[in-house]
Amino acid sequence: MSDPIIKFSNILFSYDKVSNKKVPNLVLNIPKWQVSRGQHTFISGVSGSGKSTLLNLLSGINSPDSGELIMLGQTLTKMSGKQLDAFRAKNIGVIFQQLNLIPYLSVLDNILLAAHLAKKTNDKTALQNRIELLIAKLNLPLSILSKQASELSVGQQQRVAIVRAMVNEPAILIADEPTSALDQQSKSAFLALLFELVKSTNCTLLFVSHDQSLAEQFESVVEMSVLNQAHVLTSELHSDMSISGES
Amino acid sequence: MFIKIALKSLINRKTTAWLTVLSVATSLFVLLAVKQISNQAKTSFGRTVSGVDLIVGARTGQLNLLLASVFRIGYVSNSVSWDSYQTIKTQKNVKWAVPISLGDSHKGYSVLGTTQEYFDVFKYGNKQSLKLSQGKVFSNATGNVQEVVLGSDVAKKLGYKLGDSLVLSHGVGVTSFHHHDHVRFTVSGILAATGTPIDQTLHISLFGIEVMHVAPHAEEHEEHEEHDEHEGHEGHEGHDEHDEHDEHEEHAEHQQAKIEKVSAVLVGVKAKFASLYVQKAVNDYKDEALMAIIPGVALTELWQMMASMEKVLLLISILVLFATLLGMSTMLLASMRERSREISILRVLGASPLFIFCLIELEVLVLTLISLVLAMVMVWGVSLATAPILSAYYGIFIDVSFLSQDTLYIVFSVLAVSLFMGLLPAISAYKNALQTGLLVK
């Protein structure tokens, strides 16, 4: 495998930093984790296992309390909020479970908004071509671009979400249970399209789901309870300091 | 893109957005209208009379005399006798004295009886003289008694041309029960527009007034009794006058001495400070209870009276505006909950919290700007619609242009205040943006 595109070392994260608890209620403790470029990783875990927090750290919306997080050779833990926003816009595509699009904007505007915020290109025709190509790859009609996002079916919305996530040609694509709102048939079709697209662009895919049946299609499978050592550390700390704590 | 999102977001919530715009626009309209009317009233009152140093009338309040003689509002309850007028005229400091007689009307427009000199000495605005746009002024010669000179609005609104003949009515007001239809007046001249109550006035000679009040039939007399506006005032002077005229009916047109009294006298003095001497002399006049007012002083008093009311109105309209701006901020704050999804999408796409803060402020700006434009259009429309009413009933001549310096101040302060109020929802959105995760569910 090539160089790691994501590198976690000794990452600690808690939400209640501002509260005056002496021992923070740790949510995430990842001593070491690496993802290689182009790798497709399946991340699974029960709710409360720290999946969401992990994604927030990966996208730079939250910053860890301590440790070092390097992505694409850049140290996120040393960046300012503004730099993190710019980094996210340029390098990371995100697909949510549902409601990915701003409902009152047209499909095209939703996609253009992502391009606008990434500030990657000024070439309008190149951008237009790229969007049309992506639309075609995802088996969507071109006429969909002028529709209001709120007019689309859930399946269409999820596929437009892929277009929007991929329009800036991100190095990393994060998909958070993108298929959970879809029926079985569209789920397979959606996954097939997603894989085809990330393979052709050599994009690193992080796919979060609790649906273990999907795991076999991925090169690497990460279980949150293994990755996240927060519980271990928290209970150790709690017993050390003899503070009865919430876990 | 940024502006597009703000606009589309507002369009998406168009019902609440429009309601907000309407409420802000309405309160802005109140504020602008109050400011507009008070400004215009100030200038229009100030320009109504100039070049007249004193107004002499029977003893009453100085505002009463000013309003009646210059603005044609209200009545002069008592009059000045012809003898007193002659005395005033011959005072050594007096350059000129022109009598005016009020109390009749034509289709709601006031009739002013005066002499030919009135057109030379009366000034308005910045010492501008009255000008005729057509025809000529009636002369003092008794032969031209039944001629009328129309103010520009009277001619325009009622469609009179030179040579038209009309009948005047007793009393003031649009509907009069008594018409002096035995005497017809012929339009001899039409004055150019002045933007003062002159435009709303019909001018006839003093003799014309006398001729008109000579009742040809006995039964009309009774009507006089019922509707005589002078009725109830001591001595029923009006009646005595009419009785007298009855006796001399056939001579009335030819006897100058028959003018017994006038409503007020406009006086011009020879030297700048002489008006004070003349004022004192008039106030001390033994034979009749008279008073003299200096128009400028009376106007100032009038204005002071209005100014306190203006301040109250202004304060109320500012408070109302403040309340509606608070309402706008509440509306946006309430929308933040439903927009948390939107905010998290924007964040994920790489929008900074500042971007989201500015987005909300931009929405505030757009709402306020639309409201401002709407309010100005409303003020403009309402001014246009009410200008004739204001000038006819209140002597306020409004100029239908609303981009005064004051309006600009209002526009900028309203924008500043609304942006300040917008801080509340914008900061809430900013915080939301900072705390939001990827996974708002």
Give the structural domain span for A142. Answer: 4-241
With CB atoms and an 8 Å threshold, state whether A176 touches B8: no
Distance between CA atoms of B299 and B49, rounded to whole angstroms? 9
Beta bridge partners of B128: B124
User: What is the domain range of residue B155?
Assistant: 54-293
Residue A24 pLDDT > 70, yes or no? no
Give phi and psi for A31, each to the nearest 5. Answer: -65, -40
Name every chain A residue with its beta carbon within 8 A of the beta carbon of B438.
52, 55-56, 59, 61, 94, 96, 174, 176
Q: Is B257 on the interface with A (CB under 8 A)?
A: no
Domain boundary among B266, B293, B320: B293
- Residue A238 φ then ψ, to 5°: -60, -45
pLDDT digits (tens, 9 = 90+) for B54-66: 999 988 888 888 8
Residues in chain B closer than 8 A to A114 (CB atoms): 349-350
Sheet order of strands, A204-208 included: A92-95, A172-176, A204-208, A40-44, A220-223
Asked if A81 contacts B350 with a C-beta cutoff of 8 angstroms, the reply is no
Distance from C-alpha of B333 to C-alpha of B327, rounded to nearest angstrom: 10
In percent, how much of chain B has pLDDT > 70?
Answer: 83
User: At residue B225, does pLDDT exceed 80?
Assistant: no
Residue B438 at interface with chain A, using a CB cutoff of 8 Å: yes
Q: Do A104 and B8 touch (CB under 8 A)?
A: yes
> Do B437 and A56 make contact, defined as CB atoms within 8 angstroms?
yes
Q: Is residue B441 part of a domain?
A: no
A247 part of a folded domain: no
Interface test with A, best of B355, B431, B439 (most A CBs within 10 A): B439
Considering the domain architecture, whether residues B214 and B288 belong to the same structural domain is answered as yes
Identify whether the C-beta of residue B278 lies closer than 8 Å to the C-beta of residue B89: no
Q: Measured between CB atoms, does B441 come within 8 Å of chain A? A: yes
Query: In terms of pLDDT, which residue wins out, B180 or B421?
Result: B421
Last residue of a domain, one of B265, B293, B321: B293
Are B181 and B283 in a shared domain? yes
Pair B71, B31 in one domain: no
Of A56, A117, A176, the CB nearest to B349: A117
Q: Is the residue at B428 inside a domain?
A: yes
Task: Give the mean pLDDT of B302-328.
Answer: 89
Minimal Cα–Cα distance from A239 to chain B, Å?
31
Of B30, B91, B59, the residue nearest B315 (C-alpha): B30
Q: Is residue B81 part of a domain?
A: yes
CA distance B23 to chain A (A): 24
What confidence category does residue B368 fall into, taking pLDDT thresholds of 50, 70 and 90?
A: very high
B235 and B118 co-located in one domain: yes
Reported ipTM exceeds the 0.90 cut:
no
Judging contacts by C-beta atoms under 8 Å, the chain B residues touching residue A90 are 350
Are both B111 and B256 inside the same structural domain?
Answer: yes
Is the pLDDT assigned to residue B222 strictly greater than 80? no
Residue A63 forms part of a structural domain:
yes
Q: Report pLDDT for A76.
A: 84
Residue A246 lies in a domain: no
How deeply is A135 buried, as exposed, middle or buried, from its count of CB atoms within 10 A (0-12, 13-18, 19+)? buried
| CB contact B4 to A (< 8 Å) | yes
Number of domains in chain B: 2
**Which one of B1, B437, B441 has the shortest CB-CB distance to A61?**
B437
Contact A170, A91 (CB under 8 A): yes
- In 3-state terms, what secondary structure has residue A33? strand
Instruction: Give the model confidence (pLDDT) of A116-143 as tens digits.
Output: 888 877 788 888 888 888 888 888 888 8
The region that residue B173 occupies, defined by phi over 0 for left and psi between -120 and 50 for alpha, beta otherwise, is left
Structural domain total, chain A:
1
- The answer to whether the CB atoms of B350 and A88 lie below 8 A apart is yes
Tokens of residue B81, six digits: 């006798």
Whether residue B67 sits in one domain with residue B181: yes
CATH label of the domain that carries residue A99: 3.40.50.300
* Interface residue B338 vs chain A (CB under 8 A): no
